[in-house]
Amino acid sequence: MQPHYTDKDSTQTLREGLAEYYALNPHITDPATQPTDFARILRAHDVGHVIYGCDTGMFDELKILPLFWWTSECTFQTYLKMKNSPAVDVMYEDMIKEKGTLWLYGSILRVLPGVILELIPIWFKTRNRQKLLPFLDFEPLMDRSLLDIRQEYNLMPLLQ
């Protein structure tokens, strides 16, 4: 049986894990269908899902942003600049159109306490990091194993 990208010790390459991620989540916006700048951000976000072993449920969607901020070159300030992109607004509008505002905020409120409890020890573990995971320039990692990437960037203690 092939390892799953969410397995902490997965030996899949990042490329294989990303292919599995897209196969398991056909509802995900295909970066190839988006304007270049937004596609680059979207693909980097998807790569993060694979490297951090996160699925697309609301819990992991809320968890992945702080993981990026604390362990990658995508700081909170970088995120704020990207968030001002009209394409990002379209993504949120599409989600609200598909599921509704009440669903979105209800889903966030249901999982937020658990996310916060999980993020507190992660925050302590990620302080003063020396080596940050590439965010937009992840291409050199594509043919490396997830286990190798997670070990090199000291992500293993953060994964469930």
How many Å apart are CA 42 and CA 120, to the nearest integer? Answer: 26
Contact predicate 16/147, CB 8 Å: no
What is the predicted pLDDT for the residue at 96?
A: 77
| Pair of tokens at residue 46 | 């998807």
How many Å apart are CA 160 and CA 158, to the nearest integer? Answer: 7
What is the predicted pLDDT for the residue at 33?
A: 86
What is the predicted pLDDT for the residue at 86?
A: 61
Q: What is the number of structural domains in the chain?
A: 1
Q: Tell me the average confidence (pLDDT) per consecutive run of 10 residues in the chain, 160 residues long.
A: 82 96 89 85 93 92 93 86 67 73 87 95 91 95 98 93
Structural domain includes residue 7: no
Structural domain includes residue 6: no
How many Å apart are CA 143 and CA 15, to the nearest integer? Answer: 6
What is the predicted pLDDT for the residue at 88?
A: 63
What is the predicted pLDDT for the residue at 12?
A: 96
Structural domain includes residue 8: no
How many Å apart are CA 129 and CA 127, to the nearest integer? Answer: 6
Structural domain includes residue 1: no
Q: Which domain holds residue 128?
A: 14-158
Structural domain includes residue 2: no
What is the predicted pLDDT for the residue at 112?
A: 94
What is the predicted pLDDT for the residue at 3?
A: 63
